[in-house]
Amino acid sequence: MATAANEIEIILDSPEVKADPYPILHRLRKEDPIHWVPSMQLWLVTRHADIKKLFTDPRVVPDRRAHEFYTPAPEGSYIRWIEESGLFAIPAKEHHRQRRLLASGFTPRGVARMEGQINDVVKRWAEPLKQRTGVVDIMSEFTSPIPNAVISAITGVGAPGNDERRFSLMAQEVVQGFFGFVDDEVKARAERAFLELSSWVRDTIEERRREPKDDLLSDLVNARDGHDRLSDDNIVAQVAALLAAGSETTATGGMIAITTLLEHPEELEKLRADRSLIPQAVDEILRFGFGGVGGMQRFAIEDFEFHGKQIRKGQMLILSLGGASHDAEVYPDPETFDIDRAPKELLTFGVGSHFCLGSNLAKGELKCMIEAALDFLPVGAKVLRDQMEFQSLGIFDRATTCPIDFGPVASGGN
């Protein structure tokens, strides 16, 4: 076993691994599930059971300041402030307090309000696609603008002048800055974008304090638990992060959902025949299409042994979401996309105290986007993979376009 493990060489940011990580992840699960990647000085964890355990293991934390190679962002910068004040960084008691108060924005009333806002936004962007022919970039015309508009409507925060393109750009740049292994220019753009997003949040806090509205920011400004409340800084830190992550990741998620269904036409036709299957189809899309070789970062805060491997204080562990969701011990025949699977124990949104607060919002958006896509996607529409464009973000490649051939252009043009 040791010999086989030593022979495994994996370059996480190689084009081959990015294009199809599952063969190497399958081999690692069998031969070396806690694998040291010397080129990046990190442990890659690939089994579902191990990843689930490490999500709640007190010996590892999401706080990047625990990393042996951590370099602080410049003093006084917003990125430094998030690194020191965000939910990943604060002590457990304060983390629990803030999560409890933030959850006040996700009450049944708040969730019901969100569902209506999601439906309104999706319909607005889906309607023009119903009669389209020719090649359509589904990202620019559907999956990218929807999350921006949804998150703006839900929180009550938007770019000055309702500039949706500006909002989208800021969200993308903030999220990119928090990926591991990106260069200093990406981090600098993220800093500028986070500063701008945060200023919009602070301005809106003041407006809602004077005149509350039926939105998430008003809920958070007025959130109380006895005499406890969120400070403006708490709200800014968490809402700005939600604005960025909720926009960017769901835009990519919508693209993955549509392309996955188009590339599995039998499953797509099942959904056309029975739309009650959409919720479980969303779960199977999250299992099958999300994660790749990478995943959540954790950092050891003490030396410990894990399955015979000596983890040293300060080392990074990557909890591979693609590894977990394609683990045959949990999901038989994992390389088959099957909307009847109804997968359980998905780790896409994390586990335990850092489980994603926005998970229901993200799944709600995906459900609505799929429902709408069933109405505008012609039978036989094809994903033009060879024409897609990507931006490299370390071990991830982010799609920037997703052209889909809707079929013949009618006489007189598109």
- Comparing 228 with 2, which gets the higher pLDDT? 228
Closest CA to 398 of 283, 261, 248, 287: 248
> Cα(16)–Cα(311) distance, rounded to whole angstroms?
28
Query: Looking at residues 160-176, what average pLDDT do you find?
Result: 77
Indicate whether 411 belongs to any domain.
no
β-strand pairing of 316-320 with 135-137: unpaired
pLDDT grade for 316, boundaries at 50, 70 and 90: very high
Indicate whether 216 belongs to any domain.
yes
Number of independent structural domains in the chain:
1
Indicate whether 413 belongs to any domain.
no
Q: What is the pLDDT of residue 289?
A: 92
Indicate whether 129 belongs to any domain.
yes
Q: What is the pLDDT of residue 414?
A: 46
| DSSP labels, 51-72 | HHHHHT-TTEES-GGGSTT--P
When the pLDDT of each residue in the chain is averaged and rounded to a whole number, the result is: 85
Indicate whether 412 belongs to any domain.
no
> Cα(354)–Cα(366) distance, rounded to whole angstroms?
22
> Cα(231)–Cα(89) distance, rounded to whole angstroms?
17
- Helices (H), strands (E): how many in the chain? 17, 12
Indicate whether 414 belongs to any domain.
no
Indicate whether 73 belongs to any domain.
yes
Domain with 257, as residue range(s), is: 2-405
Q: What is the pLDDT of residue 411?
A: 46
Per residue in 7-31, pLDDT (tens digit) is 677 888 788 888 889 999 999 999 9
pLDDT grade for 193, boundaries at 50, 70 and 90: confident
Q: What is the CATH number of the domain that holds 108?
A: 1.10.630.10
- Comparing 86 with 319, which gets the higher pLDDT? 319
Over pLDDT 90: what percentage of the chain? 46
pLDDT grade for 223, boundaries at 50, 70 and 90: confident
Indicate whether 76 belongs to any domain.
yes
Q: Judge whether 290 and 343 are in contact, CB under 8 Å.
A: no
> Cα(167)–Cα(148) distance, rounded to whole angstroms?
7
Q: Spell out the alpha helix ranges (H) of 178-275.
A: 184-210, 216-221, 232-262, 265-273
pLDDT of 226 over the 70 cut: no
Q: What is the pLDDT of residue 185?
A: 82
Location of structure tokens 């938007």: 158
pLDDT grade for 410, boundaries at 50, 70 and 90: low
pLDDT of 325 over the 60 cut: yes
> Cα(12)–Cα(42) distance, rounded to whole angstroms?
11
pLDDT of 286 over the 90 cut: yes
